[in-house]
């Protein structure tokens, strides 16, 4: 049962099936792992109900974020053993919000300091924190590709696909997934490893992404695929953690 089955109308189900949408594209041969905005702003600093968490972290996705973090930890464990490229994003802003532009107009609490540069809110949560050799991207808009060197980094590493995780499903994850498709990258999203503050937006965004743009699957299938990969696929083009220090020193 897909995560969106309980909110999808019979009419829409019939239309998408009749039109032939939703075929699986399949995994790529050289996947990079991407972790979108899993910072304290979007997760809070502990597992607690979302209505409690947003009192202090107004962007928080509450307890659903911590379920996602558990899934991401499992993906990272395999990815690091296989020495796959791991990319992180976060989105700090200037104190005056100029760099986010009209995005700041959509929230009544956008002038709070939690997402200002240097605030803990922008830090990736400790449970899935970057390690030496990982790549860190700062972005100012929803997509990890917009105005960043991400695509050039993926090209340089020789990646042909993404395992996409993080938050929010309907916002930055969706925007990144669509841009990845536009660059002809295959994208797989394990449903348990992405999260949103809205249940409906999470489910419908995944439905729409799966029908038209990427593959949405489950954590178990992604872990099986990663386990099947030969270790060291990227060793010649991307510095794994064991070699990062010597590469940086040169």
Dihedral sign computed on CA atoms, order 218, 3, 204, 40: negative
- Residue 239 is predicted with a pLDDT of 74
- Residue 117 is predicted with a pLDDT of 44
- Residue 116 is predicted with a pLDDT of 41
Give per-residue pLDDT as tens, 229-249: 999 999 988 876 555 444 443
DSSP string covering 66-133, please?
HHHHHHHHHHHHHHHHHT--EEEEE--B-TT-GGGGGGGGG-TTTTSGGGBTTSGGGSBPGGG---TT
Known catalytic residue at 172: yes
- 22 CB-near residues (< 8 Å, 6+ apart): 16, 210, 211
Alpha-carbon distance of 46 to 53, in angstroms, equals 8
Cβ proximity of 208 and 214 under 8 Å: no
Looking at 172, 185, 189, 229, which residue is catalytic?
172
Give the helix/strand (H/E) hosting 243: helix 241-249
Dihedral sign computed on CA atoms, order 138, 141, 144, 146: negative
Give the helix/strand (H/E) hosting 155: helix 150-157
Residues of the chain with confidence (pLDDT) below 70: 92-101, 103-119, 240-250
- Residue 232 is predicted with a pLDDT of 93
- Residue 108 is predicted with a pLDDT of 60
- Residue 186 is predicted with a pLDDT of 98
- Domain boundaries 27-249, CATH class: alpha beta
Domains of the chain by residue range: 27-249
Q: How many CB atoms lie within 10 A of CB 234?
A: 19
Cβ proximity of 155 and 181 under 8 Å: no
Give per-residue pLDDT as tens, 7-34: 999 999 999 999 999 999 999 999 999 9
- Residue 99 is predicted with a pLDDT of 67
Whole-prediction pTM value? 0.89
């Amino acid at each position: 049962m897909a995560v969106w089955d309980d909110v999808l109308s019979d009419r829409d189900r019939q239309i998408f099936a009749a039109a032939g949408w939703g075929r699986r594209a399949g995994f790529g041969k050289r996947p990079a792992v991407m972790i979108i905005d899993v910072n304290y702003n979007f997760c809070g600093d502990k597992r607690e109900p979302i209505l409690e968490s947003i009192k202090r972290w107004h962007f928080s996705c509450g307890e659903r974020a911590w379920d996602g973090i558990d899934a991401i930890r499992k993906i990272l464990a395999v990815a690091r053993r296989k020495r796959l490229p791991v990319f992180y994003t976060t989105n700090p802003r200037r104190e005056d919000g100029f760099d986010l532009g009209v995005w700041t107009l959509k929230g009544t609490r956008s002038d709070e300091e939690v997402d200002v540069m240097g605030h803990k809110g922008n830090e990736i949560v400790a449970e899935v924190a970057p390690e030496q050799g990982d790549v860190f991207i700062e972005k100012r808009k929803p997509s990890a590709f917009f105005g960043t060197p991400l695509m050039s980094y993926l090209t340089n590493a020789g990646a042909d696909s993404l395992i996409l995780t993080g938050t929010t499903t309907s916002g930055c994850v969706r925007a990144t997934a669509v841009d990845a498709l536009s660059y002809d990258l295959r994208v797989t999203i394990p449903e348990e490893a992405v999260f949103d503050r809205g249940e409906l937006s999470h489910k419908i965004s995944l439905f729409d992404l799966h029908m038209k743009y990427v593959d949405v699957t489950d954590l178990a299938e992604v872990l099986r695929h990663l386990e099947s990969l030969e270790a060291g696929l990227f060793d010649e083009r991307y510095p794994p953690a064991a070699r990062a220090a010597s590469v940086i020193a040169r």
